[in-house]
Structure formats: structure tokens, C-alpha cells
Amino acid sequence: MANITFRGTPIHTSGTLPAVGAKCPDFKLTAADLSDKSLASFAGKKKIISIVPSLDTGVCQTSARKFNAEVGKLSDIVLINISADLPFAQKRFCDSEKLEHIVNLSTMRAPAFGSDFGVRIEDGPIAGLLSRAVLVLDANNIVVHAQQVPEIGQEPDYAAALAAASKA
């Protein structure tokens, strides 16, 4: 269980992120077209997985914009943004912001994702949402970088994630 904060107040997650060096667990999440996507959908590609509470919040929106801009400069990395938002809301935000380098995936049909990845918030006012975290996977789905952001209102370490993805 990760001990993180929400506006300075301690909250807890359902577990811990997959460890660096471990094979990333698979998932089946919902894409904008309501199709199912898994890690196999991105086979052979390096992946930055940005897990966020909701694209309806300022920090999550900022994170999406910054990762989109940086990944857009690279040719061999897929940016996967995962939240509990409905696929329609995810798509509406990215379309309105012209974010073209993000693959949004929703946990709407896969509530176990949060527990499987250790990011389900267990208590506090946003219990049930996902914590802010970043995983970077190599082309074989081995975790090469993992960051559980300690404060929900804090942005992730973009430079560390992008550096890990470039080296993977």
C-alpha cells in the first residue's frame, strides 16, 4: 500500500506499482471507440503509461498536455493515459485540446485495474479513483521506470519518465 496525500491529507492506495524490472501485468481497458485494448494492442512498442485520477482536473489535464507534447517529438513511444473517466469524456478533452499523441483508456469495464496495479485510492474524498502514477515499459513490457506521485495535486517527473523511455 502506498501512502500518498490529497491536499496534504494522508490517503492510501490498494497496493504498490509493479516494480522496476518486473513484467507489467496485462490489462483489458476500454478505448474511445469502446473496443477493448490490452498490452498486446501495443506489442513491440515502448510505452509510457500515465495513470491519472480524472481528466476533469487541472493537474491531470496539464500532465496530458505535457506528455503529449514530448511524446509527439518521438517516433517509437506510445503514450497511454488511463483514468476512470468515460471514454467519451477522455476523447472530448483530447479533441478539444488537439492532443494527438495520447491513447486514452478507461477503467469503466475493468474496475480491477486499480487493484491489480496498486493505484486504487482506498480512502479519503476521492476513494475509488486512481492515484497519479507513471510506468514506463520497454518493448517487451518490462517496467523500466515507476513513479507513484506522492501528492495527488503534484505533477509527475516528466523528464525521468521520458529519459527512461528513450533508453528502454
Q: How far apart are CA 51 and CA 133, in angstroms?
A: 5
* Residue type for position 166: S
60 is catalytic: yes
Q: Which three cell numbers stand for residue 166?
A: 528513450
Contacts for 107 with CB less than 8 Å, ≥ 6 apart: 29, 30, 82, 83, 84, 113, 114, 130
> Roughly what angle, to the nearest 10 degrees, separates helices 87-97 and 58-71?
60
* Torsion angle of the four alpha carbons 32, 66, 59, 144, in this order, in degrees rounded to the nearest 10: 80
Instruction: Choose the catalytic residue: 49, 60, 82, 134.
Output: 60
Among all residues, which ones are annotated catalytic?
60
